[in-house]
Each structure stands twice: as C-alpha cells, then as structure tokens.
Amino acid sequence: MTTWHVLALTWTWEPSVVAGCTALAGAYLGFSGRPLGWGRTLSFMTGVAILLLALDSPLDGLGDRYLFSAHMAQHMLLVLIVPPLLILGIRPAWVRAALAVPGVRPLEHVLRRPAVAWLIGIGTLCTWHVPALYNRALANALVHLAQHLSFLVASTIFWWPVCAPLAELRMPALGAILYLFAASLASSGLGIALTFARPGLYPAYLHPNDVLGVLPVIRGGWSLTPAVDEQVGGLLMWVPGGLVYLCAILATLGRWYREEDEHEMRAGDATPSGQEARPYVTPMA
C-alpha cells in the first residue's frame, strides 16, 4: 500500500459537507443583485473551499481515526483560516442590514468587546483540547459535530473585532495588535504543552481500530508513532499557528499605516485652496 492509497481510503466524501459548502457559496453569490467585487468574492470562496478541504478530505478521515496531528491541522484551518476569510468576504451593506434587525446590534456590541471575543475564541480552543472532552468528541459523532461548529462560531466571534467589514466595528490597530499577540501567546502555550506532554494524552490514537488497513503505512512508512504524532500536532499549533497570528499582526500594522496616510491626506485636502499649510511661528518680542 502506498501513500496515495492511504489518502484515497481516508477521503471521507461526506455528502452533507459538500451540500452545505455548495449552499453557502451559492447563497453568497445569489444574495446580491450586483457584482460583489473580486477581492471579497475571492476571500469568501477561498474560505468555503478550505472549509470543504478541512471537513471532507483525508484530514478528516485520518484525524477521526488515526492521527492527532491530522486532527490538529483540521482544527487550525477551522480556527485560524476559514473564519477571517469568510468575514473579509462579507459586504459592508450586508452588515448594516443585519445590524438594523432588532436585537442584533446590542448582541454584536457585546460579542465585539475585546475581552469577550478573546475569551470566547481562545477559551473554546483550549477547552476542547482537555483530554476528557477531546476523547469524548472522538468517540461520539454528535459531540464531534458540536466541537467543529463551536470552533467555527467561537473563532468567527474572535476574528470579528479584528477584520469586520465596517471600520467602526473594528478595534483600534494598537489594541488589535495586543489582542492578537495575547492570542498567539495562549495558542503557543497550549501547543508547547501538547508537544511535551506524555504520549497517550489522547488514548484513541494509541491503538486505533485499523478497519482500512492503513496503519502499517502510517507507522512504518510515515514513521508517525503515537509519540511523534502527538509532538507533530503540538508543533502545528505552536509554530504555524503562531505564524498566522504574526501575519495578522503585520496586516494590522499595514492597515494602521494606511489609515495614518489617509488621515494626513484628508488633513491636507482641508487646507484652503491657494494657501500653503505653514507652521505657526511665535512673533519675536
């Protein structure tokens, strides 16, 4: 058996996931009666494609039965990649319309508070990696579904104050940088703890029920013993996860500089025509 056989056998081909992602993309494209703009459309469609990849690919099949590292990669996509891409694809007009619905604006205002959004996002991530809950999700399909849905919802709440479509809904750039840096520290801390934890923290991966016959390739060909698999999973959260937060911090810095430049341009435009803005000089006595 080869790696390609393993990938083919562990591809889940879940019809409900395909249907759900297709419906999400179709609703997005059909919701507006006019062109959406390539940037936002590309962002949203990329988010939907990655969501499909995370939930209906060998990442799901391997993560459910054989590899903690595959499950961790799936979680990183659901937490760090899909939500911001979907948010960045939303049109501002849709947000204004949603906020006009009674009860939505007060709820959005509460959930957008940095402390609330941060605790929901990071708290959900950390809570589901408690061994008892994580193992329960692996053993029960409904709990597993709840885990994935809570990751998506909580992470959308987390990313909303950073990259909401309306500027007035986003936190100031300096606050966003501190917010993301704190999240990076928390995520990296969890990744470090998992990397150096004892093997067998999640017992389902120690002796998986190899109904597909792919375990010899995973253990022998890929050299992913339970201990190595657990370390790789921790490293995925620690290093690539930290890099995602770093990229978000750099993007926020870029937004900060652009906003400063725009502010200076507006200030220059406000100077009366035909006059030069000159510094005030105190008359000599």
Alpha carbon distance 165, 69 (integer Å): 33
SS (H, E, C) 29-83: HHHCCCCCCHHHHHHHHHHHHHHHHHHCCHHHHHHHHCCHHHHHHHHHHHHHHHH
Alpha carbon distance 15, 238 (integer Å): 33
Nearest to 179 by CA among 166, 197, 162: 162
The radius of gyration of the chain from alpha carbons, rounded to an integer in Å, stands at 23
- The one-character DSSP state at 81 is I
Backbone angles phi, psi at 225, to 5 degrees: -70, 165
213 lies in some domain: yes
Q: What is the value of pTM for the model shown? A: 0.88
173 lies in some domain: yes
The structure tokens 């030069």 sit at: 276
pLDDT of 283 above 70: no
Alpha carbon distance 117, 87 (integer Å): 15
281 lies in some domain: no
161 lies in some domain: yes
Render pLDDT for 139-165 as a digit per residue (tens, 0 to 9): 999 999 999 999 999 999 999 999 999
Question: How many CA atoms are closer than 13 Å to the CA of 223, on its beta-carbon side?
Answer: 2
pLDDT of 281: 42
Mean predicted confidence (pLDDT) in 74-92: 96
Alpha carbon distance 132, 112 (integer Å): 30
Answer for the pair 58, 10: CB distance below 8 angstroms, yes or no. yes
274 lies in some domain: no
pLDDT of 280 above 50: no
Alpha carbon distance 233, 226 (integer Å): 11
Residues 247, 249, 255, 260: is their CA dihedral positive or negative? negative
Return the number of other C-beta atoms located less than 10 Å from residue 9's C-beta. Answer: 16
Render pLDDT for 173-224 as a digit per residue (tens, 0 to 9): 999 999 999 999 999 999 999 999 988 899 999 989 898 999 999 999 999 9
pLDDT of 30: 84
Share of the chain above pLDDT 90, in %: 75
pLDDT of 278 above 90: no
* DSSP code per residue over 114-163: HHHHHHHHHHHHHHHTSHHHHHHHHH-HHHHHHHHHHHHHHHHHHHHHHH
Confidence of residue 67 (pLDDT cuts 50, 70, 90): very high
pLDDT of 118 above 90: yes
284 lies in some domain: no
Domain of residue 39: give its range: 7-93+102-264
Into how many domains does the chain fold?
1
244 lies in some domain: yes
115 lies in some domain: yes
